[in-house]
Homo-oligomer: A and B are copies of this chain.
Amino acid sequence: MSRAHIVTSPAEAVAGIEDGSTVLVGGFGMAGMPVTLIDALIEQGASDLTIVSNNAGNGDTGLAALLAAGRVRKVICSFPRQHDSYVFDGLYRSGKLELEVVPQGNLAERMRAAGAGIGAFYCPTGVGTPLAEGKEQRTIDGRDYVLEYPIRGDYALIGAQTADPMGNLVYRKTARNFGPVMATAARTTIAEVRETVGLGEIDPEAVVTPGIYVDRILDLSALASQEVAS
């Protein structure tokens, strides 16, 4: 039913992503960025997408290439502007891209809420700033809070270090970042991993994303061997 499938090609990994989908994309800068899956999504052709990610693309590859291909309607992120975010900058300035800027912690917590079945939460971040304008506010125990709603994904594309056949994932160092949260917040979670190991080879105490949150796994090392063989 919901057990993770190990897929054998990037095309299979992103198959079925519909036009108009909300896609959560992991990574903080390049760390944890699911580059192969993003390239496959460009190839796949889904358009009118809402992309939720910390940044909005660098240079000409990855998310920037997806934006450049005109597939994205809206970006929800914390930090679109970077020294090499010229693709985003151009589209945004020409009015071709909608932008919702969200404080980084709210971005994470709103996705966490989606995954955790929380309807909304009162958050102290951003109170009194332009990003709280128009939002419901409440004072609780003398402190001011803004009401924040969940961000749900139709799909999550994330990068991880290792998967086992159950779909359990572990990450590596700060490449962990948004992956574990996004995995819980999407209807279908697709992970690219650097390696897969046998059942029982991930320490149950050290699992970061339990397999219940993972639907498809693309093993980049297997992909590399295929390419060498062909």
Given contacts A149-B140, A203-B206, A205-B171, contact A124 B120 (CB under 8 A): no
Interface string of A139-157 (1 = CB under 8 A from B): 0110101000100000000
A118 contacts across to B, CB distance below 8 A: 109, 121-123
How many residues from A make CB contacts under 8 Å with B? 26
Given A140-B149, A149-B140, is A172 in contact with B205 using a C-beta cutoff of 8 Å?
Answer: yes
Could you say which residues of chain B place their CB within 8 Å of the CB of A119? 121-124, 138, 140-141, 143, 145
* B contact residues around A208 at 8 Å (CB): 205
- How many copies of this chain does the complex contain? 2
Chain A interface residues (CB < 8 Å from chain B): 109, 113, 116-124, 138, 140-141, 143, 145, 149, 170-173, 203-206, 208
- Looking at the complex, which one of B121, B145, B170, B172 makes contact with A122 (CB distance below 8 Å)? B121
